[in-house]
Every structure is written in C-alpha cells, then in structure tokens.
Chain A
Amino acid sequence: LAKTTQPISMDSYEGQEVNITCSHNNIATNDYITWYQQFPSQGPRFIIQGYKTKVTNEVASLFIPADRKSSTLSLPRVSLSDTAVYYCLVVEYGNKLVFGAGTILRVKS
C-alpha cells in the first residue's frame, strides 16, 4: 500500500483558500487518491477522489500532477465549520482504506 505524507496541521482564516498537499511517492498504477474529512466524534466524510489531472466538485478541487506522486486538496473560501482533520488516502482498487494521521486544519475568524 502506498504511504502518504501530509502536514500535521495547518492554520487559516475565514474566507481564504486552503491547499493541503499530500505526497505519495510510491503510488501504483491502479491506485487512486481519495480525501476524507473528519470532525471530532464523527465518521469520516468523503470529500473528493481522483486518478489524475484535476477533479472539482461542489466542496473542493483535487489537483494531481502527471507523475501522480503528490496531490493537492483545495478548499475555496474556508469557514469556521471547515475546521476538521483531512485525510489523504491512496486506495488500491477494491481495497480497504488505510488512514494516516491526517492534517488538522484550524480555521480562525
């Protein structure tokens, strides 16, 4: 399973764009990249998933360069309610999810 590395924590202010980068140097051809968000005492919530280039949905964008050795989750105009732990996962087709420690994002007013 490809190991991921992401910052332990990040601070931001309301209204700013937040970019969280994850490195996954030994990602395999069949792996795809998934991001989850978790609030305290709640289950992980799916944010976005991609294989290459750029994916955008109503809450975030995911940028994946051609070599796929890293990915960046972009949250536009964060609010206080975006304070949470964000997990980058590299998932092999059909495999279990392996969570790391994630990035604690603190949004301040």
Chain B
Amino acid sequence: EPEVTQTPSHQVTQMGQEVILRCVPISNHLYFYWYRQILGQKVEFLVSFYNNEISEKSEIFDDQFSVERPDGSNFTLKIRSTKLEDSAMYFCASSSTMAETQYFGPGTRLLVL
C-alpha cells in the first residue's frame, strides 16, 4: 500500500538555525499539506499546496516558514530561523484530489535547543 514518507525521523537543531523537513507524498497525489503537533497538544494545520502554489496557510505559517516542491517527488518544509517554540512533530499529508482523504506520514520530531 502506498504511503507518505518523511525524513529525517528526528532532527535536533540550535535556535536560529535553518531546518528543512522532507516528505515524499503518495505518487499520484496532487495536494500536499503540512501539520504540526506540539507535545501533548492538538494537531494543527500549517499549509496546503497545490499546483506549485500555496492554497491556504494558517497564522502559524509566518515568514519563517516556506514550502517547496523541488522535483516531481519531494515536498519540503523549511524553517529559516528556528525558535524554541518550533519544537514539535511535523506531519506531511497528501491527497489525490481536494475532496479526497488526506494520508499522513509518520512525522519528523524537531527539537530546537
């Protein structure tokens, strides 16, 4: 069964450093998403992406965040200058159409020191 994959599974970084989280969505999916979950809290929407453009973004997704689909398979989330409060699990999701089920990856645990 096809699945969303994410790398790395864990990332530790120093405050102020840039991080890039990588996702490989399911191959025939066209809609891509990033969510995050701070430890013990709810899963929160960050951004949705379709046709090489951001479709929607939340208040969390400020100028420090960016997304990119650099090639036909990868979908990345970049945090330019990490803050302590960026520590969270980051989940990538994809769906085949706008109305179809979103399938989530296993997540990247980001720890900012």
- Chain A residues near B (Cβ < 8 Å): 34, 36, 38, 41-46, 49, 87, 93-101
Contact = CB atoms under 8 A, between A and B. Distances in A.
Interface residues of B, number: 23
Contact of B45 (A38, A49, A98): A98
Secondary structure class of chain B's binding surface, majority of residues? strand
Nearest to B6: A43
B99 A94 contact: yes
B26 to A, nearest CB: 12
Contacts, number: 47
A42 B45 contact: no
A36 B43 CA distance: 11
Nearest to A44: B104
A46 B4 CA distance: 13
Interface string B78-113: 000000000001010100001101111111010000
B98 A93 contact: yes
